[in-house]
Structure 1
Amino acid sequence: MLQVVFYNSANTEKVENFKHIPFSDAVVLTENVERECRKEKQLFQAEFQITDLNGNVYYRGIFAFGSYDYQNIYHQLHETAPKIKVPKDKEHERQFLLEQIEKLTPAAYKEIEFVDKTFINLEKTNISRFKKWQRSVFYLLGSGASIGCLALGFMFNMQQDSFNNELAKEIEKGEINKQLIEHYESALQGNKESYFTYLESLNKENKLTENQQVLLINEYLVAGAFDKAVSLNDDVIYVETLLLANKGLSDAIKKDKIATFNELYPTNEARFDLAYFEKNYELLLNVENVNMTVQRSEMKTYAYLKLGKVEEAKKELNNNSNSALSEKIVRYEILAAEIKTLQTRLPLVSGEEKNEISKQIAAKEQEIAKL
């Protein structure tokens, strides 16, 4: 059974993000929304993935609602999927996809509509916002891929939000950088070098946008090319903060890279970050003149909590409103109160009861240590 997940929808009232929809329902949904958008002269896009119930991804694409390109998602796949170039060992996946969409699509929704765009009463500026090639971007992925990649963004640790912002700006200007999309597609298929070579060429021509600069800096940081990263932005604090914020790196790798970066470009921010990863919370709280991002405020809140400075942790929490940290603080206070009560009882009892209370205190102290 195939299902569809839409994400990065520009109109969540019509198309919800991250909702799993059976393929047959998605066909009906896309046709209904497409017709509504045509009638209302609206135009918006949503990315989507087609998966099986185990989360294996068979197709990624973009549906442009109100564009008149496809009356529903079935027709888009029926036209584009056979044209995708895939390795021979993945051909069976394409055939499975094509067989399933034929099986799952109601007959009435397979009928081909004929539209003469000459008579479409849409604003020319709206039509120009989505070029045919841009609306037909698609990616056939191996069955080993996980639906979890929706939350992780690019599988090679690029920042998808930055790319989407860049794309949105191009759309807003009424034009799309075709090369940008082509290299993006190539990167998603595993050839990230092509994409970053393209960004480097833009940098040489001083044509990098802010979002593209962030993407390129992050690539350099992941690769350990710190001098190149700093050459793109002389603000070493900004560059090191991007390294800290990179969600594609584990804490262990991040710690090593920040340590190396700090040797080349020492900053108070890097000292603060390293103290956090090394669990040296006293040092962290004593590092002064630090650029406090939300992430660092969360780190500072946690440091206060680990040192038992609950009131300070609560105060710092106001600067980041992290719900997980809030729950930890509440739990810490409950455990601390329970330990205090048990410690008060301890001198008043003996024998087995004393041993039992001691065990309870030890268990609660251990839970505090794990917070």
Structure 2
Amino acid sequence: MLQVMFTQLNDNTIKKNERMDFVDAVKQSAILEQKYREDKKKVNGDFYLIEKESDGTALYTGTFIFGSHYAPNLYIHIKKKLEEIKMNKQQQRERIELIAKMEDGLPDIYKKEEVIENAHLLNLDVSRISKLKKWQRRSIYALTGLLGFAFVGTVFYMVMTIAQYDVAYNKERQTVAAQEKTLEIYEQGLLGNKNEMLDYFNENQKNLTDEEKKIYAGLLLEDKKFKEVVRLYNNDLGYIATMISNRGDINTLKEFHKDFPSKESSFDIFYTDKKYKELLALKDVDMTVKRSEMKTYALMKTGKLEEAKSELSNNNNDDLKGKLTEYEKLSKEIKELNEAIKIAKDSKKDKEVKALGKKKAEVEKKFNAL
């Protein structure tokens, strides 16, 4: 069982430096997040995640900013932060295990992510925003918000220093001007003018944040500029394939795979094309929660039920759990019907054979639809 300890939090609702069960911490964090959203305030809460029966070694440390709209509760906060980190295969497995532990006993209501399209929108006329793709709007809103907070911080610092240091004033004024220009570029992007954004990203490739890289890559992928994306991510084909797959753009993934094949793109394409045996034959694929779900389903469809149940522990997908239960039930029914049909045939009971055959067809239809 997991526990949480808050070490810094200016709110008496949660006691500092005391262990609390993870589920209780998630519930309390959801209440506090809603409270500070309504009050339009932000409060930092430093915390760390530990095993109940342990020496206190942290599995995860972080800061939950209550009222920031980043996450509705502590579980979603940690999950989102983990998914933002680029990981190797071992770290991917550890991440899946940690998420599974967090979800153990956690009510489904706290597992649902929320989408707030314009939480950090800075003085934009939302009615003018063109119909950009969802991932574009969400990413640019987030970046605009972050730049806005940075802008406020810079102005505050500038006001504090101008009376003492003219040099500092001039330097900060230049920084503010640069941030204002960047904000203007993002605003234009929200309004549908992506050319200026592409130029900005291209000129500042070496200094882009991870989030900016994702937006830049997304824009390049829209134009099928695969070589530029590969260069942007230093030939990390598996990571790019995962990024495309997460956007649900299977056609772009197939086009990318033709010129830049990887095990990750093969895996996702095999799943889409229902080539489950080929998918399971692939080794050393970077596993995400989504791919773990794909693998669970592929194992089920190829009749490897016990392996599917084992893989299910890595993703805890309730829908897949239900399908596995139904698959096992229907498999048993089909086996029993086959035996009954054989007995009826041996006894030359034609009407019974026909009735059982009809029943078997109905069960097989449900079985194949899983």
TM range (shorter): 0.5 to 0.7
The correspondence for 2:127, drawn from 132, 135, 140, is 140
What amino acid does structure 2 have at the position aligned with 1:200? N
Q: Please name the residue that 1:241 is paired with.
A: 242
Counterparts in 2 of 1:62 and 1:228: CA distance versus 1, 3 Å = closer
The correspondence of residues 28-177 of structure 1 with structure 2, limited to 5 A, is 33=38, 36-37=39-40, 135-140=122-127, 155-167=132-144, 169-170=146-147, 173=150, 174-175=153-154, 177=179
The correspondence for 1:315, drawn from 310, 315, 322, is 310
What amino acid does structure 1 have at the position aligned with 2:189? A
Quote how far apart the aligned CAs of 1:356 are: 2.2
Distance in 1 between the 2:220 and 2:247 partners?
12
Q: How many residues align?
A: 245
Distance in 1 between the 2:295 and 2:117 partners?
41
Question: What runs of 5+ residues in structure 2 fail to find an aligned partner?
Answer: 1-29, 44-64, 71-115, 155-175
Distance in 2 between the 1:44 and 1:327 partners?
36
Q: Secondary structure at the match of 1:244?
A: helix
Distance in 2 between the 1:193 and 1:163 partners?
14
Matched, 1:282 2:285: no
Q: Please name the residue that 1:192 is paired with.
A: 194
Quote how far apart the aligned CAs of 1:364 are: 1.6
What amino acid does structure 2 have at the position aligned with 1:356? A
Judge conservation of contact 2:122–2:148 (CA < 8 Å) in 1.
no
Distance in 2 between the 1:262 and 1:14 partners?
47
CA offsets per residue over residues 141-176 of structure 1, 9 Å max, x none? 69xx9xxxxxxxx73253455445545544564359
Q: Secondary structure at the match of 1:291?
A: coil
The correspondence of residues 221-370 of structure 1 with structure 2, limited to 5 A, is 221-234=221-234, 235-247=236-248, 249=249, 251=250, 253=251, 257-349=252-344, 350-370=349-369
CA offsets per residue over residues 183-240 of structure 1, 9 Å max, x none? 443333333334333333332xx32111000111122223211101011111222112
Quote how far apart the aligned CAs of 1:265 are: 2.4
CA offsets per residue over residues 252-282 of structure 1, 9 Å max, x none? x1xxx33332332232222222322222211
Judge conservation of contact 2:36–2:67 (CA < 8 Å) in 1.
no
Report the TM-score, using the length of structure 2 for normalisation. Answer: 0.56
What amino acid does structure 2 have at the position aligned with 1:339? I
Q: Secondary structure at the match of 2:207?
A: coil
Counterparts in 2 of 1:308 and 1:200: CA distance versus 1, 3 Å = same
Q: Secondary structure at the match of 1:279?
A: coil
Distance in 1 between the 2:207 and 2:298 partners?
42
Counterparts in 2 of 1:292 and 1:63: CA distance versus 1, 3 Å = closer
Question: What runs of 5+ residues in structure 1 fail to find an aligned partner?
Answer: 1-8, 17-32, 48-59, 65-133, 146-153
Counterparts in 2 of 1:236 and 1:46: CA distance versus 1, 3 Å = closer
What amino acid does structure 2 have at the position aligned with 1:292? M
Matched, 1:13 2:14: no
User: Percent of pairs identical after alignment?
Assistant: 28
Judge conservation of contact 1:37–1:43 (CA < 8 Å) in 2.
no
Counterparts in 2 of 1:10 and 1:44: CA distance versus 1, 3 Å = farther
Counterparts in 2 of 1:351 and 1:161: CA distance versus 1, 3 Å = same
Distance in 2 between the 1:336 and 1:279 partners?
20
Distance in 2 between the 1:272 and 1:311 partners?
21
Report the TM-score, using the length of structure 1 for normalisation. Answer: 0.56
The correspondence of residues 176-187 of structure 1 with structure 2, limited to 5 A, is 177-187=179-189
Quote how far apart the aligned CAs of 1:301 are: 1.2
